[in-house]
Chains A and B, each alone.
Chain A
Amino acid sequence: MQTVEAQGLRFRRKDLLGLADLSRAEIQAILNTAVSFQEIATRSIKKVPTLRGKTVITLFYEPSTRTRTSFEIAAKRLSADTVNLTVAASSAVKGETLIDTAKNLEAMAPDIIIIRHACSGAPHLLASRLHSSVVNAGDGLHEHPTQGLLDLLTVWEAKGRLDGLKIAIIGDIAHSRVARSNIHGFRTMGSRVVVAGPQTMLPPYLAELGMEVTYSLAEAVADADVIMMLRLQLERQGQMFFSTLREYSRFFGLNTEHLKLAKPDALVMHPGPLNRGVEIAPEVADGLQSAILRQVTNGVAVRMAVLYLLSGGEASGTAA
């Protein structure tokens, strides 16, 4: 893995709202710090006292066991106190406003609030009103920055670089906050991003944003270093975005034949949860090139790094 100069790697922000806002140096600072936290997961006692006395609240307006659990484990490994709040969407509609909820929480003096919300921009609304740090754990169709960071870490760890890699992102780009964060993250780090899917799922203006766009999975995957499959939200079928699951999986699902078109050491990734047999064939998901479980492991390290840096911690200067 490449060495990175300690100089200039600073992360001095109150909030982490999206990867679109971050510079290359800031992303590198988070990745370096995450690498230094990876080792903790291998210890028998997986805990450091770094954030002792800090309070971290997870505020989830959408159910998501995996992301919430990953944040919670990250906070606990840093010895922070954690409180988890899940607000059912139905009660939020009738109940208090997002700002009121946040102000009530802030009155209890938390240090970091981690929010997931179905509306794009909800974390920004919170961040503009609160003194606490706000971490975006996924907002609407907008961004999911810690997912983007863990994907960057996973690729960096496997390839030793991000610059110049061909990253193929396949599926429902239009409705994917994971895709948006990854697009910003990989482009900022110098990778080449190619997106593919049916036109119904590719928003306009991707080319203007620096993406290569194709409707052909084979074309996107050809010579790719990384293939990132997006989860197909099955309810899209009823919303006129595609015809049948059978056809979708035939043209836009990744199988072993497609995989042969990519570089021999290409990495297969998926943010989960998987629709096995739809966007990804089971033998690919479980194959040697799959990094899917490594993504989950790295999620904890990246989230530890984010919580640590937002709490004023110094970024690690070098990577292993």
Chain B
Amino acid sequence: MGLLLKDGLVVDPAQDLEAVCDLLIAGGRISRLAPAGTIPAEGHQVQDCRGLVICPGFIDMHVHLREPGQEYKETIATGGRAAAAGGFTAVACMPNTQPVNDTAAVTRFILEQADRAKQVRVYPVAAVSQGSQGKILAEYGELKAAGAVALSDDGRPVANAQLMRRALEYAHTFGLLVISHAEDLDLAGNGVMHEGLVSVQMGLRGIPAAAETVAVFRDCELARLTGARLHIAHVSTAGAVEVIRWAKVRGAPVTAETAPHYFSLTDEAVRGFNTNAKMNPPLRPAADVAAIKQGLGDGTLDCIATDHAPHSVLEKEVEFDQAANGIIGLETAVGLSLKLVQEGVLTLRQMVASLSTHPARILGVGGGTLQEGQPADITVLDPNRPWTVDVEQFQSKSRNSPFHGWQLPGRAVMTLVAGEIRYRHNT
């Protein structure tokens, strides 16, 4: 007996498909995908999907699950539950744990914990440099063999351009992607928010947009020099979008992501010293937000990834200067992305490509399509089910979201991983 998703709007950019279809899941795989009414229902459990959108499972290629080391903020199990509840069937977790994921042993531990949690697929991203210290390359071959899908010193950007060059070349040797948190640390200084009108008024030290833009330019040029694949994480500035567009035109093997907060909030959100508006890169002014939306719309920015960064009140209910960077995003990303669709910034198909097709292709992890025979990783959306964000309802262990109280137009209502229902929204 299979599970038949009936009469849903199937949106699968990989197959250039956007049509009302029936989709049959059996043995953990997509066994048939056919026009509505053409798959006999006999012998199957039927799920009426009229008015819903059936998408290849969403993949969040930038999360922090905090395990090992900071389990009081999040664990692979709670982060996995948050992912499923937010409509994600897979996440790629960054290596800035304690210890740093710079060895095969830590990578294997993460995969074992993910197996035990039985929530969503977890793809470990390992460190570029040992301990993310920016000095010696990590063991990329070993890490890849253990299951790492990419490399990044996220949060501790590679300051040395020569090391970045060698990292790209060495990663290319093993067919691994390098994900760059692009930030010039000297320019960023001890800034705690975007350098602009708001920072000047609030007396908070600023991080200029140039701190991101110059680093993006450096890394794009190194990708062109080496031919190695590079992915720019959490793009937040108009300048960075422009540089990535420029590099892509010149054939650089570069892709990029942005996060929902960079297209949903401006640096005005910091007013009142709101520590849930503190992140790195920082929230930018309206002109940058407009450029991010444009970059998503014209494909310069390939993906939407959350940079889900759980922190407890210990790190957030403190002075702004001392508060930790980052916000949780797994359970609001789909709603905020649907808002972009509602505003006409993205088509539904572009949104699905940003959340599924592109991250799957960039990480090289499979999924990202609903072709027959593929594992049944599926996200079912109700684009017209308005809801109010309430952090107390979150599956994540942490509550650090600036979107509490926001009204969002729709949500994921069902998340399936290998045909298993990992989340179902009850009305």
A residues near B (Cβ < 8 Å) are: 20, 97-99, 117-122, 124-125, 139-143, 177, 180, 203-206, 208-209
The docked-state distance in angstroms from the alpha carbon of A180 to that of B197 is 13
Judge whether B203 and A208 touch: CB under 8 Å: no
Instruction: Assess whether B200 is in contact with A205, with CB atoms less than 8 Å apart.
Output: yes
Q: Given that A204-B195, A204-B196, A205-B196 are contacting pairs, would A121 and B201 also be in contact in the complex, using a CB cutoff of 8 Å?
A: no
Assess the A119–B195 pair: CB atoms within 8 A.
no
A121-B202 in contact (CB<8A): yes
Nearest chain B residue, comparing its CB with the CB of A208: B197
Tell me whether A125 and B197 are in contact in the complex, defined as CB-CB below 8 angstroms, given that A120-B203, A140-B204, A142-B202 are known contacts. Answer: no
Distance in Å: Cβ of A239 to nearest Cβ of chain B: 9
Residue B205, interface by CB 8 Å: yes
Decide yes or no whether B40 CB sits under 8 A from chain A: no
A141 & B197 in contact (Cβ 8 Å cutoff): no
Of A99, A143, A205, A209, the contact of B203 (CB 8 Å cutoff): A143
Residue among B197, B317, B322 making CB contact with A119, cutoff 8 Å: B322
**CB under 8 Å from chain A, chain B span 195-214:** 195-197, 199-206
Task: Say yes or no for B272: interface residue by CB 8 A criterion.
Answer: yes
Q: Are A120 and B202 in contact (CB under 8 A)?
A: yes
Q: How far is the CB of A266 from chain B (nearest CB, A)?
A: 27
- CB of A281, distance to nearest CB on chain B (Å): 29
Contact B197 A209 (CB under 8 A): yes
Once A124-B272, A204-B195 are accepted as A-B contacts, the answer to whether A141 and B319 lie under 8 Å apart by CB is: no
Name the residue on B nearest A203 (C-beta). Answer: B200
> What are the residues of chain B within 8 A of A20 when measuring CB–CB?
201
Nearest-neighbour CB distance to chain A for B271, whole angstroms, equals 10
Is B18 on the interface with A (CB-CB < 8 A)?
Answer: no
Residues on B close to A: CB < 8 A? 195-197, 199-206, 272-273, 317-322
Which chain B residues lie closer than 8 Å to A180 at the CB level? 201, 203
A204-B321 contact, Cβ under 8 Å, with A124-B273, A125-B273: no
A98 touches B318 (CB 8 A): yes
Which residues on the B side are within 8 Å of A205 (C-beta)?
196-197, 200
Residue of A nearest to B318 (CB): A97
Which of A120, A141, A177, A209 contacts B273 (CB under 8 A)? A120
Contact B200 A119 (CB under 8 A): no
6 A/B residue pairs, CB under 8 Å, sorted by A: A120-B203, A121-B321, A124-B272, A177-B203, A180-B203, A209-B197
State in angstroms the CA–CA spacing of A123 and B317 once bound together: 13
Given A20-B201, A203-B200, A140 contacting B321 (CB threshold 8 A): yes
Q: When the two chains form their complex, are residues B203 and A97 in contact, meaning their CB atoms are under 8 A apart?
A: no
- Which residue of chain A has its CB nearest to the CB of B270? A121
Contact of A206 among B196, B200, B202, B319 (CB under 8 A): B200
B200 touches A204 (CB 8 A): yes
3 closest Cβ contacts across the A-B interface? A142-B203, A121-B273, A119-B319
Partner of B320, one of A97, A121, A143, A203: A121
Given contacts A119-B322, A141-B205, A209-B201, contact A97 B196 (CB under 8 A): no
A119:B205 contact, CB within 8 angstroms = no
Q: How far is the CA of A59 from the CA of B201 in the complex (A)?
A: 24
**How near does chain B come to A125, taking the closest CB pair, in angstroms?**
6
Note all chain A residues with C-beta closer than 8 A to B199: 203
Given contacts A122-B319, A141-B204, A141-B205, 18 further A-B contacts (CB under 8 A): A97-B318, A98-B318, A118-B321, A120-B202, A120-B203, A120-B273, A120-B320, A140-B203, A140-B204, A141-B203, A177-B203, A180-B203, A204-B196, A204-B200, A205-B196, A205-B197, A205-B200, A208-B197
A174–B291 alpha-carbon span in the complex (Å):
28
Query: By the criterion CB–CB under 8 Å, are A121 and B200 in contact?
Result: no
Most A CB within 10 A of own CB, among B196, B203, B317, B320:
B203
Which A residue's beta carbon lies closest to that of B320?
A121
Q: Which residues of A contact B322 (CB under 8 A)?
A: 119
Residues of chain B lying within 8 A (CB to CB) of residue A125: 273, 318-320
A120 touches B321 (CB 8 A): yes
Q: How far is the CA of A229 from the CA of B317 in the complex (A)?
A: 36
Bound complex: CA of A204 vs CA of B197, how far in Å? 7
> B424 CB to closest chain A CB, in angstroms?
39
How many Å from the CB of A19 to the closest CB on chain B? 12
Question: Is the beta-carbon distance between B317 and A99 smaller than 8 angstroms?
Answer: yes
A264 to B206, CA, bound (A): 39
Distance in angstroms from B283 CB to nearest chain A CB is 16
User: Do B201 and A119 touch (CB < 8 A)?
Assistant: no
Distance between B33 CB and nearest chain A CB, rounded to angstroms: 54
Distance from A313 Cβ to chain B, minimum over Cβ atoms (Å):
28
CA A121 to CA B206, docked complex, whole Å = 15
**Which residue of chain A has the shortest Cβ distance to B208 in the bound complex?**
A204
Is the beta-carbon distance between B317 and A97 smaller than 8 angstroms?
yes
Q: Are B317 and A120 in contact (CB under 8 A)?
A: no
Tell me the complex Cα distance, A190–B365, Å. Answer: 63
Complex Cα spacing A209 to B202, Å: 12
Which of B273, B319, B321 is most buried by chain A, counting CB atoms within 10 A of its CB? Answer: B319
Closest to A176 in B: B203
Who on chain B is nearest to A177 by CB? B203
Residue of A nearest to B195 (CB): A204
Cα A141 to Cα B195 with chains together (Å): 14
The minimal Cβ–Cβ distance linking A278 to chain B, given in whole angstroms, is: 23
Give the CA-CA distance A118 to B319 in the complex, in Å.
Answer: 10
How far is it, in angstroms, between the C-alpha of A99 and the C-alpha of B204 when the chains are bound?
20
Of A20, A121, A142, A203, the most chain B CB neighbours within 10 A belong to: A121
**What's the least CB distance linking B205 to chain A, in Å?**
7
The reply to whether A117 and B200 form a contact with Cβ atoms under 8 Å apart is no
Chain B residues closer than 8 Å to A139, beta-carbon distance: 203
A97 CA to B313 CA, complexed, in Å: 11
Residues of B within 8 A of A177 (CB): 203
Contacts of A97 in B (CB 8 A): 317-318
Bound form: Cα–Cα A141–B201 in Å: 10
Closest to A93 in B: B322
**Shortest beta-carbon distance from A59 to chain B in Å:** 13
Please, which residues of chain A bring their CB within 8 A of the CB of B205? 141
Give B322's nearest chain A residue, CB to CB: A119
- Chain A residues whose CB sits within 8 angstroms of the CB of B317 once the complex forms: 97, 99
Name the residue of chain A whose CB is nearest to the CB of B317.
Answer: A99
Supposing A99-B317, A204-B196 touch, asked if A120 and B204 sit within 8 A by C-beta, the answer is yes
A98 closest partner in B (C-beta): B319
